[in-house]
Amino acid sequence: MLNQVVLVGKIIEEPVIKEFGNNNQMAVLLLEVERNIVNQEKTSDIFQVILWKNTMNNYLQDCQVNAVVGIKGRLQANNFITREKNKFYSSDIIAEKISILKE
C-alpha cells in the first residue's frame, strides 16, 4: 500500500514550533494550494503541514511566509471524541522533504 502526498503551494503563516517531553519538537505550517476549477473563480485549499524533529531541523530555516514550496510526505488521519460526545476528524500532511521553489 502507498501513502504519499506531493503538494506545491505558498506558506501563509510563520511556522509554529511545539515542544513535547524528551526534547521532541515539531513545527506546524499552513500551506495554501490553489485549486484550478474550470468556469469558476479560482479558489484554494489550506493544509496543515507537520515537520517532525529531523525534517524540521533540515528545512525550517527556509520556510518563510510567502515562499512557494514543494512538499513530499504522507497523509495522516486523526479522530477523537469531544467532551460533548461529537466525533471529530482531521487530516495532516507529515512532511518528509521540502523544496523551496520561489521566495
What is the per-residue pLDDT across 19-44, written as a single tens digit (0 to 9) for each? 988 888 999 999 999 987 766 777 88
Q: Indicate the pTM of the whole model.
A: 0.84
For the segment 66-81, the average pLDDT, to the nearest whole number, is: 94
Residues ≥6 apart with Cβ < 8 Å to 89: 77, 78, 79
- Whether the per-residue pLDDT at 74 is higher than 80: the answer is yes
User: Is the backbone of residue 83 left (phi > 0), alpha (psi -120 to 50) or beta?
Assistant: alpha
- Whether the per-residue pLDDT at 103 is higher than 80: the answer is no
- Residues recorded for the chain: 103
Q: Output the domain CATH number for residue 17.
A: 2.40.50.140
Host domain of residue 25: 5-102
- Tell me how many domains the chain contains: 1
Confidence class of residue 60 from pLDDT cuts 50, 70 and 90? confident
